[in-house]
Structure 1
C-alpha cells in the first residue's frame, strides 16, 4: 500500500474535493514533527486484486487518535465515515480497539482512499490493508501478547505489594504504585480502558490517557530517585527530580488545555529520552553504593533506555511499526521485568546494609553497657575515696591550723621554721582536696549530672568570693568595675570554670609573675551586648607552652608539668562546661604568654 501525506496550511479549510487535487509527499508513519495543532490528509493507494472486486479492511491506529475521517469514492460520490477517541467505543470496528474501515477494492483501477486526521495526542499513525481472515489472526496474536504483558505486570505489582507489606521498604511501595499506573496506562493506550469504563463518556478516555502518562513518568522518576537516595545521590540529581516533578504537576493542572498539552508532549518526549542517561550520570556520585549494584543499575537503565529509544524511532520516521504501539509502551514487558530486578537488587543491598548496621548497633550497645558499668564502678570508687580521704584531710587541716596557732604564741625565732613547714602541709592538703574535687566534678560530668540552672547574677561577687579563697590571690590583676556586671548563666558552673582557669594560671605560670583577669561585655556584633568575655592571661617559660592540639584532652599534662600536682582534668572540665553553657573556649600562645578566652552567650 502506497501512502502520501499532505498538511493543511490553514487547518480546517479543505474539502475532500480540494484535498484530492493537492500534492502529497511520501509518508512513513510520522504525522508531523511539530507540536502545533493542524490537519493532516493521508492518501492511501490499496493494491487491486487480480480480477473482480475484493473486500479488505483498512486498519488505522493507534487508539488515541482523536478524529479520523475516511473518504471512499462510490459511483463518483465521496462517502465519509468517522472514528476516533472522542466517539463511542462501540463505533470502532476492530476488536483490538484500533479503528477498522471495511472497504471494497476493484481490479483494473487505482483504489484511492483519503484519511483526514485531526489530533494532538498522537505523533504517528499506522495503516494496513488486510483481508478479514488475516485481520482476525493479527488481532488474536496481538491480544495474546497484550494479555501476557498485562499478566506479567500485574504479577510484578502483586509481588511488590506482598513484599512491601512484609518489609515496609519505601521503594517497594513506590514501585507497586508505578506498576499499577503502568498497567492502567497500557490498558488506556490499547483502548481496553475506554471499552470497560468510558463507553458513554469517551472524552474521559483521552483525559485518562494523558493523566496516566504523566503519572507514569512521575512514578518512574520517584522509583529511580529512591534507588539512589540511600546511597548518597548527588545534590544536582535531587534538584533535577524536584524540577521535573514540579513541571509534571503543572501538566496535571493544565491537562485539558490543548496548547499546554502540546508543550507537555514536547517536554515528556524529551524527558523519556534523557531519563535513563541522567540516572546513569548520577551513579558515579553514589560512593556508598556497592560496585556490583551500581553496575546492575547502570546496565538496567541503559537497557530500558534502549527500549524507550527504539520505541521512539517510529516518531523519527526511521522505523515502520507493524502493530499499533505508543511511546514508552513498546517493550513494556521487558522494562517491567528489568525494573523489578533493579528494585530486588536494591532491597538486597538495603538488607545487607541493615544487617551490618544492626551488628554495629549491637556492638555499640554492648560497648556502651561495658563503659556504663565501668563508669559506675569508677564512680563508686571515687565516692569511696572521697569519703575516705576528705574526712582525714579535714582532720589534718584542723590539726595543722591548731598547731600553727600554738606556734604563733612562741617567740618568732623559735617558730619561724616550724610555721613554714606547717604552711607547706596545709598547701599540700589543699592540693589534695583540689584533686579530689576535680575528680568528683569530672565524674559528675560523665554521669551527665550537670544541668544548667540559669539566673541573673553579678560576676563581681563571684570573682570576689573566689579570690578570697585563693592562696595567691595577690598575683591576680583584676580591675573591678564600679557598676554590677550582670550575666545570665549558671553561677555555680561559671564559678567552676573561672576557678579552674585561675588555678591553672597560678600553677603553671612563672613564679611571682602577674596573672591578668579580664571580664567584660563584647559589643562588636551589634549595639546590644551579645557576648560575655572571660580572659585569663599568664606568663610561661620559654619551653613551657602546652600542646594546643592536646590541651583540652582528658588527663593531658605537658612535660614541664610533671613536677607539679594535678590530674590533667582541669581544662577538660572547663571546655566541657563551656559547651554545656552554650559557649566556647579559645587558647592562644604569643610572646611567652598564654591566653584562655571564654565566650558565653548573653
Structure 2
C-alpha cells in the first residue's frame, strides 16, 4: 500500500513538473512574441533578392524604380543562401524630431550595410557597416544597429544583408527611450536565460557528484556549450574583440554553435541508450554526431555556411527522429519511459517551430522567430533537465534498492554464517560430549566379568548420552516452533513430586511447599523445566550436599504467581557466569568433566517465556539459585 501511494505521488509530481515546463515555455514564447512593432518608426518595408550578390546601392535604387522590390513584413526569413538581400525601409522622424536608433537583429549576422541619403550630395549614399565581423563603436548593447539623425518628414534607407548564417533580419527604428526600454527587456531575458542554465547546471552537478551519472556529465557539457553559444550569438563577444580582429568572434561563434548541436545529439544518444532504445535509433544519432564532426572540418576549410546549414538540418532531423526513437525505449520503469517520451515530443514540437524559419521553410511575422536559435536553447535545457531529473531519480531509487538488497543479502549471509557456526559448535559439542561416554560404555561392556558397579556406571553413562540427545531433540522442537503451549488445569506441586520421584538421588533434595491452587499451564513443558533444573542442581552441586527446593505462592508485577526456588552449593565446576549462563552451548570451563550439552538452561528459559513465566539465576551466599515464576 505504501509503495502504491509513493508511486501515485511520484506520477503526480512528475505531471506537475511537465505542466510547469509547458507553462515556462508559454511564458518564454509570450515574452519573445510580444508585439515590438507597435511604436516602430518604420512605415514601409520592401525586399529584393540579389542571387549573385553583386548589386551596388545605385543598382538597388534603380531596381526599386523598376518595381523589382516586393512588399515585406517586419521580419525577413530567407534561410541559408549565397544571395544578398536588399531591404528598403521608410522611416518617419520621431515626434520630437530628435535622434532615433535603427535596431537590427539577430546579432549573429555577418554583415549588414546601411545606405543613408547624403544630405550634402543629393543622389548619393553614405555607407555604414555592422555585423559580427565588424567592430562598431555605436553598436547597441544587445543588438546590431546605428544611431541616426532624421533628415525630413520621411526618409528612405537601404540595407544589404549577406551572411553565412541563416538570413533572418528584423529592423526597427526606435526613439532613445524605447531603445533603452528594449535593452532593459533583453537584459532581463538574458539574465533569466542564464538563471535557467545555472539551475540546470546545479541539477547536473548533483547527478554527476552524487550518482556518477554519465548522462549528467553529458548534460553539463551541453549546458556549457549552449551558454557559451548564447553569449556569442547575442553579440557579447564583439564587445571584447580588438579592432581588426572581429572576424575571430564570428569564427568562434560558429564553432560554439556547431559544438552545442554536437553536445545536444550526444545527450540524446546517452539518454536513449540508458533506456535501451532501438539499435537503429542509436546508430542514427551516431551518424548525426559524425556529421557534427564533419561540420567542424567544413568550418576549418572555410565552408561556414554549409556547416551551419547542415547543423540546422541535424537539429531538425533530431526533432523528427527523437520521438520515434523514444517509442522504441524498453529499459527503465514504464512510468518513467512514458514521461520521458512526452518530454521528447514536447521538445520536438518546439524545435520544429523554432528551427524551420532558420532553414527557410517557415516565415513568420512574430518577433521571437528572429531569436529562435536562442529561445530553443532554453527550451532544450528545460526539457533535458526534466529528463535528467527523471533519470537521476530513477538511478537514485535503483541505488537505494540495490543498497537495500545488499543489506538484506548481507543479513542473510550473516544469518547463514551464524547457522553454520552454530552447526559447527553443535557438532563439536556433540562429538566432545559423546565420545568419552561411548568409549567408557564400550570398555565396560567388553569386560567379560564386569562388576555390578561397572555395569551401573555404564548404564548411567548411557543415560547421560540419552539426556544429551534428548536436549538436542527438544531444542530442535523449540526452534521449529513445535512447542506451542497446550493450556490445561494442573498443579505444580504434583508435577514436582513426580519429577523428584524419577530423579537419580531424590534423598538429596529437601522440599518445602505451601498449599497451591490449580493453574492453567502446559504440563509437559513444566515437567521439562522442572526436570532440567533438578538434574542441573544434582549434577553440578557438591558431592553429598543437600539441594533445597521451595514451592510457594507469591506476587510478581502485581499478579499472583507460583514461585519455584532451587539452590545448591557449587561443586568442582564452581559458580557459573551469570552473563553467559543462558547462552546456547555455554558450559563453565570446569564443567566439561561432566557429560552435558550446554543446551538445558537455554532451552528451559525459552520454555518459561512460552508459558508467560520467567526464569532467573542469582548467586546467593555462595549458592547457585534458580527461581521459576509461573502465572497462577
Q: Is 1:41 the counterpart of 2:86 in the alignment?
A: yes
The 3 A distance-change label for structure 1 pair 136 and 369 is same
Normalization by structure 1: what TM-score? 0.56
Out of 216, 225, 231, the position equivalent to 1:187 is 231
TM superposition shift of 1:311: 2.2
1:102 is the counterpart of 2:140: no
Structure 2 residue 293 is matched with structure 1 residue 252: no
Distance 1:164 1:199 in 2: 41
Q: Residue 213 of structure 2 aligns with which residue?
A: 169
Does residue 202 (structure 1) correspond to residue 246 (structure 2)? The answer is: yes
CA distance in 1, matches of 2:167, 2:250: 15
Which residue among 102, 118, 133 is the counterpart of 2:177?
Answer: 133
1:11 to 2:53 alignment: yes
CA contact (8 A) 1:61 1:127 kept: yes
**Does the 8 Å contact 1:92/1:98 carry over to 2?**
no
- 2:327 — aligned with what? 284
Q: Deviations over 1:372-411 (max 9, x none)?
A: 99999999xxxxxxxxxxxxxxxxxxxxxxxxxxxxxxxx
Distance across 2 between alignment mates of 1:216 and 1:337: 15
Q: Which has the higher contact order (CA 8 A, sep 6+)?
A: 2
What do residues 487-526 of structure 1 show as CA deviations (whole Å, max 9, x unaligned)? xxxxxxxxxxxxxxxxxxxxxxxxxxxxxxxxxxxxxxxx
The match for 2:269 is 225
| CA distance, structure 2, for counterparts of residue 95 and residue 44 of structure 1 | 23
* Corresponding residue of 1:354: 399
Aligned counterparts of 2:379 and 2:292: Cα–Cα separation in 1: 25
TM-align CA RMSD: 3.2
CA distance in 1, matches of 2:317, 2:114: 37
- Aligned-residue offset at 1:121: 1.4
More deviation, 65-74/2-11: 2-11
CA pair 323-45 structure 1, distance change in 2 beyond 3 A: farther
Tell me the TM-score normalized by structure 2: 0.54
Query: For 2:146, what is the secondary structure of its paired residue?
Result: strand
Shift of 1:66: 1.1
The residue that corresponds to 2:72 in the other structure is: 27
Deviation, structure 1 residue 369: 8.0
Aligned counterparts of 2:99 and 2:314: Cα–Cα separation in 1: 44
**Separation (CA, whole Å) in 2 of partners of 1:188 and 1:324:** 18
Alignment partner of 2:86: what SS?
strand
The alignment partner of 2:195 has SS state of helix
Deviations 1:1-34 (A, max 9, x none): 322121224322x22111101111223333524x
Give me the whole-angstrom Cα distance separating, in 2, the residues matched to 1:198 and 1:341: 40
Give the superposition deviation at 1:116.
1.5
1:169–1:317 Cα change, 3 Å:
closer
Q: Partner of 1:297 in structure 2?
A: 340
Q: Distance in 1 between matches of 2:407 and 2:322?
A: 35
Cα offsets for 1:54-109 (capped at 9, x unmatched): 53221111111111111111331311111111112x434212242234141422xx
- Give ranges in structure 2 of 5+ residues lacking alignment: 1-42, 425-632
| Cα shift at 1:162 | 4.4
Q: Deviations over 1:529-571 (max 9, x none)?
A: xxxxxxxxxxxxxxxxxxxxxxxxxxxxxxxxxxxxxxxxxxx
Give distance in 1, aligned partners of 2:345 and 2:182: 31
Question: Helix, strand or coil: the match of 1:125?
Answer: strand
- Name the SS for the 2:179 alignment partner: helix
CA contact (8 A) 1:58 1:103 kept: no
Which residue does 1:78 correspond to in 2?
A: 125
- Equivalence for 2:260: 216
Q: Secondary structure at the match of 1:87?
A: coil
Does the CA-based 8 Å contact 1:198-1:205 persist in structure 2? no
Change (3 A) 1:42 1:361: same
TM-aligned CA distance change 1:19 to 1:30, over 3 Å: same
Residue of structure 1 equivalent to 2:352 = 309
- The answer to whether the Cα contact below 8 Å between 2:258 and 2:308 also exists between their aligned partners in 1 is no
- 1:410-449 alignment, distance < 5 Å: none
Q: Is the 2:99–2:147 contact (alpha carbons within 8 Å) kept by the matching residues of 1?
A: no
Give the length in aligned residue pairs: 375
1:359-398 to 2 correspondences below 5 Å: 359-360=404-405
For residues 261 and 252 of structure 2, what CA distance do their matches in structure 1 show?
Answer: 14
The answer on whether the counterparts of 1:308 and 1:328 sit within 8 Å (CA) in structure 2 is: no
Q: Per the alignment, do residues 289 and 81 of structure 1 end up closer, same or farther by CA in structure 2, a change over 3 Å counting?
A: same
In the other structure, the counterpart of 1:149 is: 193
Whichever of the two has the greater Rg, that structure is: 2
| 5+ residue gaps, structure 1 | 380-602
Q: Residues 172 and 200 from structure 1, CA distance in 2 versus in 1: closer, same or farther, beyond 3 angstroms? A: farther
Describe the shift of the 1:188–1:38 C-alpha distance in structure 2 as closer, same or farther (beyond 3 A). Answer: same
